[in-house]
Chain A
Amino acid sequence: MPDLSRRTVLAGAAALPPTRAFAQAPATPPAEPVFGIPPSVVTNPPRQWGPGAPPPFNPDPDIIRADNSFGGLLIGQETIRRLSTGYHLAEGPAWSGIGNFVIFSDVKNDTLYRYIWETGQFTAYRKPSFNTNGNTFDHQGRQISTQDFFRRVVRWEADGAMTIIADKFDGKPLNSPNDVAPHKDGSIWFTDPTFGGAMAEGHPDEGTLRDPAIGNSGVGIQLAGGMKQQLPTNVYRWDPSGRLEVALAPENGGAPNGLCFSPDYTKLYVIRGGGIFVADVQGAKLANLRVFTDCRVDGVRCGPDGMRADKAGNIWSSSAGPLGYAGVTCWNPAGKLIGRIRLPETCANLAFVGPKRDHLFMCANSSIYMLRLNIQGAAPG
């Protein structure tokens, strides 16, 4: 109580006009309201995070509406929270509805973590993870992951066993499967860029200055998947029959990265070449590939990496833009920017999580951030 009264006195003193002005004017001019500026990721000093941070302010100054429709997806009182930090490259979040936990990869630190919902604790779930990158859960609740070290796609079965889903196409080893989207028909769609050939994220190719045999997690480099990337950076569709087909070849676009389906599974969104493309899903094929957005906001490139669709069909994409634009961008089904989230770090990927699947879990370089929303994710995982 003494503190409170002191604050009140001080605030009152600051609001009083100077005495001289008071004397000159017959009527007291109304006091100017004194507003504070809530700290954000672009203020100086910037917004603080972590246990010692001051109380968050709402509405959150780092949630930016570009269109009125964004408001319907938000809860005004909710603020961005940093849940954890200290990772090397956080990637591939996915929600287990049966297990009530979020998994995510620290690709470079070779660990798959999980966030236990009921306690908020983080645990090292699979270590080594063999540089696991993208993760998802399929419609039968099974974890599907890509392993950059082995350059393959694997699935963790209900009994805990692991199945290799795909490690080669046409007899040639895959480059480094990156992100995964399960279709309702049981097929698994995944992108196969070359990033796992980076020394920090998997193992380099043979015949370069870097020796892939050093630091191979005790596996033996002979077993570490392809030693030379030779396939185009395709998007593949794995059929439950075991057949692997190219769904999208890299012509007229760069390497693919994140991908997700529309809520009705009639459209596939694919990140490549710094923008988001969309195509119609026609059975096992894609048709009518077109640009969804070039991910430019205010003329600033908000490079996407991973994304998810919500139940309304909006696409929530990570942004690797410069500070002020790094974080998340949200696009309506017509490809119009409706809102964005500023984070103090570049964001690689995100997922809808929580018992109601209404929290956005953001993997941003060294930290994990979460924001509760007023919408649910479209797909499990």
Chain B
Amino acid sequence: MTDLSRRTLLAGAAAALPTAALAQRAQLAAPVTVISNPPRSWGPDAINTYPDPDVIVLDPSFGAVNEGHGAIKRVGTNYQWAEGPAWCGEGQYVVFSDVMGDVQYRYIWDTGIVTPFRRPSFNSNGNAFDFQGRQISGQDFPRRVVRWEHDGSMTIIADNYQGKALNSPNDFAVHPDGSIWFTDPLYGGQLSEGHVDQGNGPFNAGGLLNPMIGNPGSGIIGSLHQVLPTQIYRWDPSGSLEIVATGQVPNGLAFSPDYKKLYFVWGANLAVADVVGKGLQNIRTFTDGMIDGVKCGFDGHRVDVQGNVWSGSTAPLGYCGVTIWNPAGKAIGRIRLPETCANLTFCGPKRDWLFMTASQSVYLIRTNTQGAGPF
């Protein structure tokens, strides 16, 4: 109670207009942020203030999911391209991919230490855990979707559609009916994130680059030519693979808490569609990502139990980080990070922390909500 009253007093004092006498004595300072000069520092000695000055409320409704007594922490750095975070509720760790570094790391919750979990990762990209706690991963190098079973063995879930090789499965959303929905853009065709096509290709103009150099020793290279359009697939537990959306380049995807809607990156926008049976209907733009006239580009996102969409933001400094959109597609808050953020997940024993994979670093902040569904 003492603490609470002190907090109230402080808040009241800060909100009140200073009298002339008070104004002379008050020495208010702005906390350092990612856009101040000098900017906020992130090492072990960094001092953070509550509320975090880089967590920005755009709409009062953000207060319901924002934990004011929380600060952004950098919990790992020096990756090349951090992606695909996913929370293992059974094992209490976050896996994430350094796609370009060809390592899949994990953040051990009980120690806060990041360890190299699978090395090489075959350029694993997106990760998810299904309702039975099994890990689903996209491997950009062999251009396929795999699942790690409970006994530690690995199953290839999908590497082709009707005999044609997949491009490079990227991100995953698991449905309670046992199906796995995934996007198949073509980013794994880049030299740094997988392997290029043999000969002339989307990322191999003139065919000058050699995809056979730097194979991580498995001899398994997947397809040597991207032949399929960029699409979204639904993998059925029966083993069949069906197209649910085609015509744009997809990226991250996530279901609404009731599994009646699918949010997915669709070209430059975040789209939403109704999940009807095994397919999608009524694909429409959810948001174009414009905030203050600045384009906050999409890559990966997750949904909280209230239905808000938390998305990574690819934007200039000041707007890169995370954007939070309510179910109506209105921006209600954002998190500024010093780096472009590709993807994020809810994690922690209560699934109330946000783990952000942002270019070369990974960041954590506690929220006041929980992630919807696994994980």
Knowing A157-B89, A159-B89, A380-B151 are in contact, say whether A98-B133 is a contact too (CB < 8 A): yes
B135 at the A interface (CB under 8 A)? yes
A252 at the B interface (CB under 8 A)? no
Selected interface stretch from B107-115, B337-345, B354-362 = B107-115
Interfacial chain A residues near B375, Cβ < 8 Å: 159
Interfacial chain A residues near B149, Cβ < 8 Å: 97-98
What separation, in Å, do the CA atoms of A114 and B92 have in the docked complex? 11
A-B contacts, CB under 8 A, total: 81
Contact A380 B150 (CB under 8 A): yes
Interfacial chain A residues near B117, Cβ < 8 Å: 100, 118
Which size class do A's interface residues fall under?
20 to 34
What separation, in Å, do the CA atoms of A121 and B91 have in the docked complex? 15
**Main DSSP-derived SS at the B contact region:** loop
Knowing A97-B150, A100-B152, A139-B150 are in contact, say whether A157-B90 is a contact too (CB < 8 A): yes
Scan A82-113; emit 1 where CB is below 8 A from any B CB, else 0: 00000000000000111111000000000000
Interface residues of A in 154-183 (CB under 8 A from B): 156-161
What separation, in Å, do the CA atoms of A125 and B92 have in the docked complex? 9
A124 at the B interface (CB under 8 A)? yes
Interface residues of A in 267-310 (CB under 8 A from B): none
Which size class do B's interface residues fall under?
20 to 34
Contact A99 B116 (CB under 8 A): no
What separation, in Å, do the CA atoms of A84 and B278 have in the docked complex? 51
Interfacial chain B residues near A160, Cβ < 8 Å: 89-90, 92, 349, 351
B50 at the A interface (CB under 8 A)? no
A116 at the B interface (CB under 8 A)? yes
Contact of A98 among B92, B150, B349 (CB under 8 A): B150
Contact A97 B111 (CB under 8 A): no
Interfacial chain B residues near A142, Cβ < 8 Å: 90, 133
Interfacial chain A residues near B203, Cβ < 8 Å: none
List the A residue with the shortest CB-CB distance to B347.
A160
B8 at the A interface (CB under 8 A)? no
B148 at the A interface (CB under 8 A)? yes
Knowing A140-B133, A156-B90 are in contact, say whether A121-B151 is a contact too (CB < 8 A): no
What separation, in Å, do the CA atoms of A119 and B93 have in the docked complex? 14
Scan A309-325; emit 1 where CB is below 8 A from any B CB, else 0: 00000000000000000
What separation, in Å, do the CA atoms of A96 and B150 have in the docked complex? 8
List the A residue with the shortest CB-CB distance to B105.
A118
B134 at the A interface (CB under 8 A)? yes
Interfacial chain B residues near A357, Cβ < 8 Å: 151-152
Interface residues of B in 297-317 (CB under 8 A from A): none
Contact A118 B150 (CB under 8 A): no
Interfacial chain A residues near B41, Cβ < 8 Å: none
What separation, in Å, do the CA atoms of A100 and B118 have in the docked complex? 10
Contact A118 B116 (CB under 8 A): yes
In the assembled complex, the CB of A355 is this many whole angstroms from the nearest CB of chain B, namely 6
Contact of B133 among A118, A124, A158 (CB under 8 A): A158
A143 at the B interface (CB under 8 A)? yes
Contact A355 B111 (CB under 8 A): no
B374 at the A interface (CB under 8 A)? yes
Contact B88 A99 (CB under 8 A): yes
A254 at the B interface (CB under 8 A)? no
Most buried by B among A140, A141, A160, A380: A160
30 A-B interface contacts by CB (under 8 A): A96-B90, A96-B91, A97-B151, A97-B152, A98-B91, A98-B150, A99-B88, A100-B152, A101-B91, A116-B115, A118-B116, A118-B117, A119-B113, A119-B115, A121-B111, A121-B113, A123-B108, A124-B110, A137-B150, A141-B134, A142-B90, A157-B89, A158-B89, A158-B129, A158-B132, A159-B89, A160-B349, A357-B152, A380-B150, A380-B151
Known: A96-B90, A116-B108, A158-B89. 9 other contacts (CB 8 A): A96-B91, A119-B115, A123-B108, A143-B90, A158-B132, A159-B89, A159-B375, A160-B92, A161-B89
